[in-house]
Structure 1
Amino acid sequence: MYHSQQNPRAYGGISSPPAQEEQDGNSLLKELDKIAPMKSFDAFPKVQSTYTAHSRRGGVLTVIVSLLIFLLVLNDLGEFLYGEPDYSFSIDSDLENDLQLNVDLTVAMPCQYLSIDLRDAVGDRLHLSSAFAKEGTIFEAGRATPQKLAKVSKAPSASKIISDSRRSTPNQKKSLSGMRALFSKGTDQLKHFQYRPTHNWVKDGPACRVYGSLSVKKVTGNLHITTLGHGYMGSGHHTDHDLMNLTHVVHEFSFGPFFPAIAQPLDMSLETTNHPFTAFQYFLRIVPTTYIDANRRMLMTSQYAVTEATRVLGHNDAVPGIFFKYDLEPMTITIRERTTTLYQFLIRLVGVIGGVWTVAAFSLRVANRAQKEVTKAVAGEKDVIPSSLSRPSSTRRSSSFLGMGSASPGIGRTNSWLSVEGSGEWKRR
C-alpha cells in the first residue's frame, strides 16, 4: 500500500495527489469541466501539418473560390460606397400648382420669322413670342448629336443629381444685383438671368436662339415653333420659302426647377432638314420625380421620356414647325438612395467569405469521396477491417514503468495506480 504523502512524480505522473486535485477544483474552469469536458466544444480542431495533403484539384478550387469571393466583395463594396436606388410610386395629388417649362434651343433661321405658341387641353391659346427671349446668332451644331443616334447612358445616382442641381455651371448665370440689375431692368437678360449669354451673338443674325422659363398649367399641352404665315397666327407677314429652315439644336428642354447641370433626354440633340416644309414632332411623357439621397437631401423636379418623329410635308398638307407635345402621368415617383452602413458591410463581408469557403470545402470533400467510391467500385476492392484480437506471431515483451520485463511471451505486463475515494491511500492494481 502506498501513502498519499509520496511524490506522485515517482509513479510516472499518471495522477495527481488528492491535495493537488482539491486545489485545482476550486477554479470555475475545473468545475465546468466536470460537468462537460471543454474540449468537446472546440469548433476549431487542430490538425497536424503531417496529416494534410495538398492536391492540384484543391489548388485550382482555391483560385476559383478566391476569384468568386473577390467579385462578390467588390459588388458589396460598390453598394457600400455608392448605394442603390429604391423606387416608390404614388398617385399625384398635387393638381393645383403650375408646371415650370424651361426651353433653350437654336433654330437655323432669323428670329423675326419665328412664332412661338402654346395650346393646352383646357383650351387656352398663348402667344409666347414675347415671353421667351430671342437673340440672333450663328447656327453651330457643336457637340449636339441626332436624337436617333444618342446613346442611352446609365441613370445617375440621386446624390449626383442633387449635387448637380446645386452646382453652378458655365451654362448658368448668377443673379444680377446692385447697379447692374438697375441698369439691366426690363431686358430679357434680367428676366431669364439663369441662362448663359448667347454665344456668337449677332444682331439680326442668320440663326435665332430661343430661351426662357415660364409657368404653364399642369395639363396636356403643345408648344410649337412655326414660321410667320405658315402657322396659327393670322398676320400679314409671309415667310419666303427660301428662308424657311427648321434645322435646330435643343440645348435645354425640361420641366420643373431649372437645373442646367442635370441631363435631360432632349439636351444637346440635333435635327436637320433640307426641305422648307418639315415638321419635327416630339411626344413627351412627364413624371413628377422626387430624389432623396443618403444624406436625406431632397430635390423635387420632373423627368420625361420622349419619342420623336419627322415628316416632310407638301405645300398645303399641314403646318411645318417644331412641336413639343407633352402629357403628364397621373403618378409620381420617389427615388431614394439606399446605402449600406459600415456595420452591415462588415457582416455581409464575413458572411460572403465564410459561406463561399465552407460550401467550396464541402463540395471538394463530396467530390473526393465520390471519386474514391467510384474507383473502389471499378477496381472491385473491399474494405479490410483489422481484428482487434489479432496477435503478432513473434514474441513481444512489454516493460512496466518500474522497468520490470514480462517473462511470458505475447503477454505484456502493465501497472497502474488508482486512488481510493474517501481515503488518502493509493492502491496498486
Structure 2
Amino acid sequence: MDKVFNRLRNLDAYPKINEDFYSRTLSGGLITLVSSIFIALLFISEFRLYLHTVTDTKLVVDTSRGGKLRINFDVSFPEVPCSLLSLDAMDISGERHLDIRHDIFKKRIDSHGNVIEVRQDGIGAPKIERPLQRHGGRLEENEKYCGSCFGAEASDDDCCNSCEEVREAYRKKGWGLTNPDLIDQCKREGFVQKVKEEEGEGCNIHGSLEVNKVAGNFHFATGKSFHQPSPFLLLDLLSLQTESYNITHKINKLSFGDSIPGIVNPLDGVEWTQKSPNGVYQYFVKVVPTVYTNIRGHTIESNQFSVTEHYKSSEVDHFRSPPGVFFYYDLSPIKVTFKEEHTPFLHFLTHICAIVGGTFTVAGIVDSFIYHSKKAIRKKMEIGKLR
C-alpha cells in the first residue's frame, strides 16, 4: 500500500514548497485582492449569461411549396370615407379578388380620428324583400321578388335584389354605374344619401386576408373596382364623387403572419401625407419566411419583411393609374430560423476555469515582475551604499 501511495505522490504535478521559504509582500496582497474582485465580477457576468437564453440564427433555402400567406393590416385614411374605399388583391397565378369584405372591418372616423361607426360590409344595406317590380313588372301573387339588373343580366333568370348586386353586375359587364338615383334598389336603400352623409369623414380599415404564397399585390383604392376584358384595372367612380382624392394614410399595423417576439415590423406607425392632387403610393415589400422556436420548443412560422416606397403623381402618370395605396409583395427563397437555447453547462464550466486560471496567471506574472523589480532596485541601492 505504501508503494502505491509513493507512486501517486510521484505523480503530483503541483510540488509543495516549505512555508519557511515563502516571502509574502504588500504588493502581492494588493494584486491578490484585485484579482479576486476581478474574478468575482467575471463570474457573475458569465453566470447571468448562462441563465439567459441565446438565439441561434441560421439561413436555409426555403423548399416549401404552395400554402397560404396571411396578411394582417390596420390602415387609417383621414380624407377618404368608408363608402369610397375598397380592398382588392391579385397575384401572378391569375387569382383576383375585388372589393374584399370577408374578415374586413371599417370604422368611420372624423377629422380627429374619433370613431363614428363600425361596420363590416362597407356601406351595404339589407336587401329589399318585396319591392314593386320584377324586371320592370309587378309581382304576381306568391311570386318571389327578382330585382332588375338594369341591362346587366347574364340571363333572364338573373336577379339583383340590392343596390350592391346591381353594382356587382355592372362591374362584371365592365360598365360604370354613373347615376345610382336611377336604380330602384339604390334609391330605396338610400345609397346616395349614405355616401353624402360620409362626406368629409375618414376611414379606418383593418382585418386580415389570406392569399396564395406567391408574388402579388393588394391595394386600397378610392372607389369600387371592376375588371373588363382589357388588361387594365378600372374604377367605378360615382358621379357624386369629386375627381380629386387625398390618399393621406397611416399604417397602424402591417404584418405577414403571426408576430415574432423581438421583431418590429418596419411599417408599423408609418404615416404619409399627400401634397399633390392625385396619385398612387406604392410599397414594394420583400417577404422573408421566418421560423422562430422558443426555449420551450414552441414554433412560430411567420415572416419578416423589408420595404421600399415610391409615390407616383398623376401629373407624370401617362396611364392615369387609379388613386390608392398599393402593396406589391414578393417572397424570398431564403428562410431565416431563430432558435432560443441555453448555453451548455460544460461551456459555462470551461469559461469559469478560463477566467480563474487566466486571471491568476496574469496576476502571477505581474506580481513576479514587481517583486523582481523591487529586488533589483534594492540590490543596486546596497551596492551604491558599499561604494
TM-score range, shorter chain: 0.5 to 0.7
* Aligned residues of 2:101 and 2:121 also touching (Cα < 8 A): no
SS of corresponding position for 2:235 = coil
Quote the RMSD (CA, aligned, Å). Answer: 4.1
CA distance in 2, matches of 1:134, 1:261: 29
Q: In the alignment, is the contact (CA less than 8 A) between 1:32 and 1:38 conserved in 2?
A: no
Question: Which residue of 2 is the match for residue 251 of structure 1?
Answer: 252
Q: 1:228 aligns with which of 223, 232, 237?
A: 223
Q: 2:339 aligns with which of 336, 340, 343?
A: 336
Contact 2:280 2:313 in 1 (8 A): yes
1:206 has 2:201 as partner = yes
- 1:353 counterpart residue number: 356
User: Offset at 1:335?
Assistant: 0.8
- Which runs of no fewer than 5 residues in structure 1 stay unpaired? 1-27, 143-185, 190-202, 383-429
Aligned to 2:26: 54
Pair 1:128-2:99 in alignment:
yes
Cα deviations by residue, 1:248-299 (Å, 9 ceiling, x for unpaired) = 2212211124789974222222222343324332221111111112221211
Unaligned 5+ segments in structure 2 are 123-196, 226-231
Residue by residue over 1:174-217, the C-alpha shift from the partner in whole angstroms, topping out at 9 and shown as x without a partner, is xxxxxxxxxxxx9669xxxxxxxxxxxxx947111111222111
Q: How many Å separate the matches in 2 of 1:260 and 1:363?
A: 47
**Same amino acid, percent of matched pairs:** 27
Distance 1:117 1:341, change over 3 A: same
2:212 to 183, 192, 217: 217
Q: Give the superposition deviation at 1:139.
A: 5.4
Letter of the aligned partner of 1:212 in structure 2? G
SS of residue matched to 2:238 = coil
Equivalent position of 1:321 in the other structure: 324
Counterpart position of 1:388: none
Q: How does 1:363-378 map to 2 (within 5 A)?
A: 363-366=366-369, 369=372, 371=373
- Assess, with a 3 A threshold, how the Cα gap between structure 1 residues 44 and 340 changes in structure 2: closer, same or farther: farther
How far apart, in 1, do the equivalents of 2:270 and 2:219 lie? 17
How far apart are 1:226 and its partner, in Å? 2.5
3-state SS, counterpart of residue 55 of structure 1: helix
- Shift of residue 334, structure 1, vs aligned partner: 1.4
Question: Is the contact made by 2:99 and 2:224 (CA closer than 8 Å) also made in structure 1?
Answer: no
Give yes or no for the alignment of 1:83 onto 2:85. no
Aligned partner of residue 60 in structure 2, secondary structure: strand
- Is this contact kept in 1: 2:31–2:363, CA < 8 A? no
Instruction: Report the residue type matching 1:121 in the other structure.
Output: I
List aligned pairs for 1:37-186, cutoff 5 A. Answer: 37=9, 42=14, 45=17, 47=19, 51-55=23-27, 59=30, 63=34, 65=35, 69=39, 72-108=42-78, 109-131=80-102, 132-138=104-110
Deviations 1:194-245 (A, max 9, x none): xxxxxxxxx9471111112221111111222222399933314264256x22
Confirm or deny: 8 A CA contact 2:27 2:367 kept in the other structure: no
Distance 1:188 1:295 in 2: 41
- The CA deviation at 1:79 is 2.8
Contact 1:255 1:303 in 2 (8 A): yes
Q: Equivalent residue for 2:242? A: 240
Superposed CA offset, 1:63-99 (max 9, x none): 4x56754564454334322221112222212122121
Letter in 2 for 1:52: R
Q: Aligned to 1:234, what secondary structure does the other structure show?
A: strand
Deviation at 1:374? Answer: 8.2
Q: d(CA) in 2 for partners of 1:267 and 1:46?
A: 72
Instruction: Give the CA deviation at 1:141.
Output: 7.4
The equivalent of 1:16 in structure 2 is none
In 2, distance between residues paired with 1:241 and 1:380?
Answer: 104
CA distance in 2, matches of 1:294, 1:44: 48
Separation of aligned partners in 2, 1:250 and 1:297: 30
CA positional deviation for 1:312: 4.7
Partner Cα separation in structure 1 for residue 36 and residue 262 of structure 2 = 42
Matched, 1:285 2:280: no
Indicate conservation of the 8 Å contact 2:292/2:337, yes or no: yes
CA displacement, residues 107-147 of structure 1 (integer Å, 9 cap, x when unaligned): 112112223222322233331343432221235579xxxxx
CA deviations over 1:12-43 (Å, ceiling 9, x no partner): xxxxxxxxxxxxxxxx3x44455575696555
**CA 1:260–1:61: 2 relative to 1, 3 Å:** closer
In the alignment, what sits opposite 1:395? none
Q: Structure 2: how far apart are the matches of 1:379 and 1:263?
A: 69
- Mark the CA change 1:234 to 1:308 in structure 2 (over 3 Å): closer, same or farther: closer
**Partner of 2:154 in structure 1?**
none
- Name the CA shift for 1:316/1:91 in 2 (closer, same or farther; >3 Å): closer
Instruction: Please tell me whether the aligned partners of residues 283 and 310 of structure 2 are also in contact (alpha carbons under 8 angstroms).
Output: yes
2:31 and 2:111 map into 1 onto residues whose CA distance is: 63
User: Aligned residue pairs: how many?
Assistant: 294
AA at the equivalent of 1:240 = T
Alpha-carbon distance change, 96 to 44 in structure 1, aligned in 2, over 3 angstroms? farther
Distance 1:316 1:368, change over 3 A: same
Distance 2:379 2:51 in 1: 54
**TM-score normalized by structure 2?**
0.62
Give the whole-Å Cα distance in 1 for the aligned partners of 2:88 and 2:62. 27
